[in-house]
Chain A
Amino acid sequence: MKALCWYGKKKVRIDDVPEPKLLNNRDAIIRVTSTAICGSDLHLYNGFIPSMEKGDVLGHEFMGEVVEVGRDVKNLKPGDRVVVPFPIACGRCSACKDQLFALCENSNPNASMAEALWGHSPAGLFGYSHLLGGYAGGQAEFVRVPFADVGPIKVPSWLSDEQVLFLSDILPTGYMGADMCDIKHGQVVAVWGAGPVGQFAIASAKLLGAERIIAIDRFSYRLNMAKEKAGATDVINYEQTDVSEALSELTGGRGPDACIDAVGLEAHSHSAMYAYDRAKQMMMLETDRPIALREAIRACRNGGIVSVIGVYGGLIDKFPMGAIVNRGLTLKAGQCHVQRYMRGLLARIEKGEIDPSFVVTHRVSLDDAPAAYQMFLDKRDDCEKVVLKAA
């Protein structure tokens, strides 16, 4: 079968690889119909995530048709149309019982590797390094899905692939970003990053009742989408405007009640800080550039919440802990517990409360995925979200 494989920094290509087989009793094999390139795939593409092997199949946002199920999968049958969440979760350990699916204790076969880096291990993820399991991803024609009785959800045929595909990751991730903000009536939420996750964080903040939502990015096409499609009330282009001044102005000097970092470890800025972090990253003195995170912490109102859904991998530098402690901020973070949010969000899609397909700007076949990675990275052709058609 065809699969998109990683071969190093900015090197991905379509390989012919063997078709997956059932390995555990709760596995299912899915024939992928649609899959997408995630912003976090660009961290792999740019070589920022450790423990990748040449030949790894990428992709953690995918959906398709069930072709085969293991003997302990009772709720799915061949022919079912399903969307698959990106964290792999057993559904039985204590983390899963607490609905913390991205922290499943039984899904990462390389847990001891993650323990060495992070202290404890989170769940395994599809196509996201060996530290997180060494699972083949879904940017392929077929994919093996472990714990298929827990993760995948069936979707109705009258909804298109593009309307439900993002239940696999970015819609619940954006939603969790807003959910962690405990939004109350009349509150102001600022979102750093107007990529697809940022768009859904904005849309979710609106669904959850935020009064004012401020989008921050450097690409005007993304800010336009945030305003016109996602529901941002104000936008700040950080290359043209000083973000802290603008936020102070927009909030009467208070600062936003909650700040969402939907940027992560490869933040950009035009300040000297960017050069500083870039240099430290190159010298391996820090692994992640927390420019957006620092800004979000500084901007947040006293006693406010900073919600981090952007991906960070290792260590950051110049972390403003003083601001967090002295101004009583709450920092919340996490890989999304997709399984917790999927069904509720599918119901919202079915009711027409949200149509996530608005982020899609490019549709290409799986064969053209390598070029699409580079286009997405360069933000060429106003690229916001690429959907790959695998079948």
Chain B
Amino acid sequence: MSNNGNTVSTHPLTRALGWFALGLGAAELVAPKRLANLIGLRPSNWTTGILRVCGAREALTGIGILSGAGSRRWLQTRIVGDIMDAGLLWRALGRSPWHSFLTRSHQRPRLTGALLAVGGVAALDVVALGLGSWNSRREKQQGSRSAITASITIDRTAADLYKFWRQVENLPRFLSYVESVTTRDRVRSHWRVKVPHGPSLEWDATIVEDRPEQRIVWTMQSSKLGMLIDSGEVRFEPAPGGRGTEVHLTLWGRAVPKVMARWLRKLPERFWSAQLHRLKQLLELGEITVSDASPFFGPHPARPAQEELTSAPLASSATPTPGPAVADTDDGRPS
């Protein structure tokens, strides 16, 4: 966050807002009565007290913004402060019991003016914040791009896993929604995806790095829409303790602002984790485990389905099945 902050504070608008906050804060702290008169508030002990508190807050935010450290946070604080101020002025304007407590009659024009001023400054705060994230976004596009990662350990050799993955026609067997993958030549393939209740997508993929039993890297080219994901890598590494092979999947896409990325990443990472679990089932068991609800997109009760399952989950016998199950070999507890 702190380097985001630095990019924000370098902008002249941000610095101006910092100085403005400092000035306003000082005025509120030093001359609350005059300020109250100016904006149409009743200059009582109460209102001057409130103004002093607001002044302390303003001065603090001003210093925060100008110091440059985490000034993004401070700008956000300013916006919250603006909302508070506007709320207070709105109360004074309204017909609530607050009205007579905070102001005198015939002060409406001054109050309205003050409210508009607060609104204007708030708008500038939002703009400054936006400039900041635009800057940091541009910075990121030049630097690292956003990545989604998912990993799983599968009880097969790296050779088995590489062989399965390199034969890209195999991939729709565990990837949900992928209708087909057809190979064009040794490295190029064409992908068709149908998302339920969503769009049909097609793209070409090209393998750009191919290290047997270790790693495959590919890029994706879509003629229609700019794709969120444009390249990917899968690595196969032996798991320690003879536990099979670790599959590490990384997908790169458009750079996304860091704040958004943290949230945006959760959903695809869960999706890709689910996909890798399906791969594990396919390669360890020879088929993908289904429950009563899992073949359906979206919520479905855990009860036998009325409808025939169209995409029959019964696996073809093409996948080599691993060794026998263990339960019959050992009763576990002596009696």
Contact = CB atoms under 8 A, between A and B. Distances in A.
Contacts of B313: 23-24
B326 interface: yes
B332 A343 contact: yes
Contact of B304 (A18, A107, A351): A18
B304 A19 contact: yes
A56 B327 contact: no
A149 B289 contact: no
A183 interface: no
B301 A92 contact: no
Given A5-B303, A55-B303, A136-B292, A344 B281 contact: no
A14 to B, nearest CB: 12
Contacts of A55: 301-303
Given A17-B304, A97-B326, A136-B302, A341 B293 contact: no
The DSSP consensus for interface residues of chain A is loop
Contacts of B299: 53, 130
The DSSP consensus for interface residues of chain B is loop
A29 B179 CA distance: 31
Interface residues of A, number: 67
Contacts of A96: 325-327
Contacts of B290: 23-24, 109
A136 B332 contact: no
A295 B58 CA distance: 51
A347 B305 contact: no
A146 B294 CA distance: 13
B273 A106 contact: no
Interface of A: 3, 5, 15, 17-26, 53-57, 75, 89-94, 96-97, 99, 101, 105-113, 115-116, 121, 124, 127, 130, 133-137, 144, 146-147, 149-151, 179, 337, 339-341, 343-345, 347-348, 351, 353
Interface of B: 153, 155, 243-244, 266, 270-271, 273-274, 277, 280-281, 284-295, 299-306, 309, 313-315, 322-328, 330-335
Given A116-B270, A121-B277, A124-B291, 14 more contacts: A21-B304, A22-B314, A24-B290, A91-B326, A92-B155, A92-B323, A92-B326, A99-B326, A106-B280, A109-B290, A109-B291, A134-B291, A134-B302, A339-B332
28 contacts: A5-B303, A17-B303, A22-B314, A24-B287, A24-B314, A53-B301, A54-B301, A56-B303, A57-B301, A90-B289, A91-B325, A91-B326, A93-B284, A94-B243, A106-B284, A109-B293, A116-B266, A133-B302, A134-B292, A135-B293, A136-B291, A144-B292, A150-B327, A151-B327, A339-B332, A341-B333, A343-B331, A351-B335
